[in-house]
Amino acid sequence: MSRAHPLRLLVLGFALLTLAACGKKEEAPPPQAQAPAPQAAQEVVVKIGLAAPLTGPQAHIGQDIKNGAQLAIDDLNTRGVEIGGKKVRFQLIAEDDEANPTKATTVAQKLVDSGVVAVVGHFNSGASIPASKIYSDAGIPQISPSSTNPKYTLQGFKTTFRVVAHDDQQGPVDARFAVEKLGAKRIAVIDDSTAYGQGLADAFAATAKSLGAEIVAREHTTDKDTDFKAILTRIKGKNPDLVFFGGIDPQAGPMKKQMAELGINAKFMGGDGMQTPNFIKLAGETAEGAMASIPGLPKDKMPGGKEFLERFKQKFGVEVELFAPMAYDAVMVFADSMKRAGSTDPAKFLPEVGKTQYQGVIGPIAFDEKGDLKDGPITIYVVKNGQWEPLETVTPTAAAPAKQAEAPAPPQAVQK
Amino acid sequence: MDVFLQQLVNGLILGSIYAIVALGYTMVYGIIGLINFAHGDIVMVGALVAWTVCTALAGSAVPAPLILLAAAGAAMVVCMTLGVSIERVAYRPLRRAPRLAPLITAIGMSILLQYSAALIWSKQYLALPAILQPTMYTVAGATVTDLQVFIFLLACALMAALAWFIKRTRIGKAMRATEQNRDVAGLMGIDVNRIIAFTFLVGSGLAAIAGLMVILYYGIGHYFMGFMLGLKAFTAAVLGGIGKVNGAMLGGMLLGVVEALASGYIGDLTGGWLGSNYRDVFAFLVLVLVLVLRPSGLIGGPVSERA
């Protein structure tokens, strides 16, 4: 046999590899609770769906959301809930969307088919948006604990809600903070090319520009990359005094580290996707001084925060990562709406979700006509001594932001 | 700061890593005409083994150079065992089979390695604890860390040693003979199986070092990290001329530089139409161009038809 056809062989190899990459093995679905065995006479089982990335680089966040929702379900079941005169037992059906938009629609359909009456999820905006159409078609209300892309609630669906402030609120808050409080004049903006990252970065850039700052570079990376040296080198050449990143911690951490290695002294700021302990682990010492905003009050400043954090830690043996309180409240909002409607039928309790006036762990929850959280607060944090510490909380609609703490950004610890 | 020079430095370091990995592709292709698609994942295993050792020893009293040596040693032992076992189990039985068969087992091995790693190390991104505190130097306006210099020099030293080894030693001679014609080499008294296993041994050892370099340089590891790295290194091997050891070096360095420059300047060149998130495209654009214009690579001679 001749060796003369490397070309043909290579093309074939690539085709096969592409196939192999596309067909990334699907995780075995988490064991779903079978129909509970013997039920009490008139006990009704109400299935609540949950969709989040339970595997992959963002699994820690997905797991956090799942735990939050599970805690709410357990609380409801221990307390014993009666809806329309019948005893109700709640059950969580969790599905892994792998943070993948395509997988998200499959998972959404699976949840609908398995008879859930409401869904908590998804985590990623890129997953929530395509999935929302499926829930809307099925008439099932969906509350995302974390998706912040504005488009999510702008599609005109009656079933989409969220319990966090969205990017069009978060980005401008960040920008105002960067320009007015930190005095940033030359700003470089990077995003991870996802619906979330790009949306946040765009909203940030637009406001920063309107406030008189110059956007000296607008760069994109992907949510898989770990090498940002080329982008950062380019940015360094533009000599910015602040770098804003729209993306998640697996990219933000190494990015901060590589900034230090390139001797970039600019401040580093991002959104909720990087406000995690994981970011500090990944960036190591260079995390010091990085800032990130996150919708909601600081965890321990939430009205129900302290108690929630304790019970969460006790039950799952881990700290709350990010969105567990939001997921908890999302389940509670559903239960509350069902109680008011006196029915577990989505068609009957859906209108009640929109009228929610609920005092949750995260604070008062009410939705506007689009399904967005009314007056959702946003808090900006800074890494100090290897910990995220709250700097300032802003309510986007409030005219005068309530100042909580002195906000001098600590000097960047990059000289090594 | 000199942006161009800095991009060049970024590219050369990236290129050093590509080159070391490309050597593994090129040596195996040279000797048995197989594209070992599992090679990128051997690098991943090397990186994650090094990560495990470093994480276990970080914070202890062990000095940093010793931790690195231990990490390199462990990674090499695991990768070499893995490389030789894969050859024995997945490729040797298929050596006389049509070419498609070992190619498919190679892809199978790649996926097997990835998901085994996902089971062992989880699917999370793994952060390397700070063992080294790189010192930064400014050279002609570009920032260089001692870690970068170390990676570059180590890569050059490894490549020079390999080139010398293949050219000057008996076993290197036997490797070249096997590459020329396996059957005749066998008739001349060369233990072909041993030579092929040895090739895998050396290639996997280099992959382990490359894995250590990657985890030290980026400080982050992941079960899927070998995939793109493998494809890029493979591209580098083809660019230089697959089967040629010095081609792998040239191709690796060149590809690293092309990638760094392209992702650094694409935004300016296209007026913001394409961003640096398109940088992976350049490697494969290079691959396509090479295959179309010069299939034998930059320094490969024409591939002769053999009976």
The whole-number pLDDT of residue B284 equals 86
Q: What is the pLDDT of residues B187-214, one digit of tens each?
A: 988 899 999 999 999 999 999 999 999 9
Instruction: Search chain B and give the residue with CA nearest A191.
Output: B277
**CA–CA separation, A358 vs B257, rounded Å?**
57
Q: What's the pLDDT band for A134 if we cut at 50, 70, 90?
A: very high
Q: Which tops the pLDDT comparison, A42 or A279?
A: A279
Q: Which tops the pLDDT comparison, A410 or A256?
A: A256
Q: Does A261 touch chain B (CB under 8 A)?
A: yes
**CA–CA separation, A328 vs A146, rounded Å?**
12
Residue numbers in B near A230 (CB within 8 A): 7, 10-11, 259-261, 263-264, 276, 279
pTM beyond 0.90? no
Q: What's the pLDDT band for A30 if we cut at 50, 70, 90?
A: very low
**CA–CA separation, B279 vs B302, rounded Å?**
30
Does pLDDT of A8 surpass 90?
Answer: no
Q: What is the pLDDT of residues A248-269, one digit of tens each?
A: 988 999 999 999 888 898 999 9
Q: Are B257 and B5 in contact (CB under 8 A)?
A: no
Q: Does B272 touch chain A (CB under 8 A)?
A: yes
Question: A270 CA to chain B: closest CA distance, Å?
Answer: 18
**CA–CA separation, A129 vs A120, rounded Å?**
13
What is the percent of chain B with per-residue pLDDT over 90, rounded to a whole number? 49
Q: What is the pLDDT of residues A336-366, one digit of tens each?
A: 999 999 999 999 999 999 999 999 898 889 9
Helix (H) or strand (E) holding A216: strand A214-220
Q: What is the pLDDT of residues B252-275, one digit of tens each?
A: 999 999 988 888 887 777 776 777
Q: Does A347 touch chain B (CB under 8 A)?
A: no
| Structure-token pair, residue A20 | 């192999």
Q: Does A307 touch chain B (CB under 8 A)?
A: no
Does pLDDT of B30 surpass 90?
Answer: no
Q: What's the pLDDT band for B300 if we cut at 50, 70, 90?
A: low
Residue numbers in B near A227 (CB within 8 A): 14, 218
Q: What is the pLDDT of residues B149-179, one digit of tens each?
A: 999 999 999 999 999 999 899 999 999 999 8
The whole-number pLDDT of residue B306 equals 44
Closest CA relative to residue B260, chosen from B41, B43, B18: B18
Interface pTM (ipTM) of the complex? 0.82
Q: What's the pLDDT band for A68 if we cut at 50, 70, 90?
A: very high
- Helix ranges, A284-345 (H): 305-316, 324-341
Number of Cβ within 10 Å of residue A312's Cβ equals 23
Does pLDDT of A315 surpass 60?
Answer: yes
Number of Cβ within 10 Å of residue B90's Cβ equals 18
Q: Are B298 and B306 in contact (CB under 8 A)?
A: no
Instruction: Over range A129-143, report the average pLDDT.
Output: 94
Interface of A with B in 367-406 (CB under 8 A): none
Q: What is the pLDDT of residues B104-155, one digit of tens each?
A: 999 999 999 999 999 999 888 888 887 777 788 888 878 888 899 999 999 9
The whole-number pLDDT of residue A90 equals 95
Does pLDDT of A399 surpass 50?
Answer: no
The whole-number pLDDT of residue A14 equals 56
Question: Per the CB < 8 Å rule, is A253 touching B33?
Answer: no
Averaged confidence pLDDT in chain A: 84
Question: Per the CB < 8 Å rule, is A261 touching B259?
Answer: no
Question: Per the CB < 8 Å rule, is B263 touching A21?
Answer: no
Q: What's the pLDDT band for A19 if we cut at 50, 70, 90?
A: low
**Scanning the structure block, which residue is given the tokens 């046999």?**
A1
Instruction: Over range A84-106, report the average pLDDT.
Output: 92
The whole-number pLDDT of residue A9 equals 55
Does pLDDT of A396 surpass 70?
Answer: no
Q: What is the pLDDT of residues A163-212, one digit of tens each?
A: 988 888 888 889 999 999 999 999 999 998 888 899 899 999 999 999 99
Q: What's the pLDDT band for B2 if we cut at 50, 70, 90?
A: confident
Q: Are A324 and A312 in contact (CB under 8 A)?
A: yes
Residue numbers in B near A281 (CB within 8 A): 127
Residue numbers in A near B225 (CB within 8 A): 226
Helix (H) or strand (E) holding A363: strand A363-365
The whole-number pLDDT of residue A13 equals 56
Interface of A with B in 201-260 (CB under 8 A): 217-222, 224-227, 229-231, 233-234, 236-237, 250, 253-254, 257
Q: Does A12 touch chain B (CB under 8 A)?
A: yes
**Scanning the structure block, which residue is given the tokens 């096997």?**
B178
Question: Per the CB < 8 Å rule, is A4 touching B303?
Answer: yes
Per residue in A74-111, is it b (16+ CB within 10 Å) or e — as a string? ebbeeeebebeeeebbbebbbbbbbbbbebbbbbbebb
| Structure-token pair, residue A279 | 């970011």
The whole-number pLDDT of residue A17 equals 54
Q: A interface mutation test: which of B37, B100, B277 has the most A CBs within 10 A?
A: B277
Candidates A3, A225, A233; nearest CB to B3 = A233
Candidates B10, B227, B231; nearest CB to A230 = B10
CA dist list (Å): A330 to A60, A68, A146, A338, A403: 19, 9, 11, 13, 28
Does pLDDT of A401 surpass 70?
Answer: no
Question: B260 CA to chain A: closest CA distance, Å?
Answer: 5
| Structure-token pair, residue A147 | 């998706």
**CA–CA separation, B24 vs B14, rounded Å?**
16
Question: Per the CB < 8 Å rule, is B260 touching A236?
Answer: no
Q: What's the pLDDT band for B59 if we cut at 50, 70, 90?
A: confident
Question: A311 CA to chain B: closest CA distance, Å?
Answer: 26
Candidates B33, B98, B218; nearest CB to A254 = B218
The whole-number pLDDT of residue A157 equals 93
**CA–CA separation, B128 vs A68, rounded Å?**
29
Averaged confidence pLDDT in chain B: 88
Question: Per the CB < 8 Å rule, is A57 touching B222?
Answer: yes
What is the percent of chain A with per-residue pLDDT over 90, rounded to a whole number? 51
Question: Per the CB < 8 Å rule, is B291 touching A261?
Answer: no
Does pLDDT of B31 surpass 90?
Answer: no
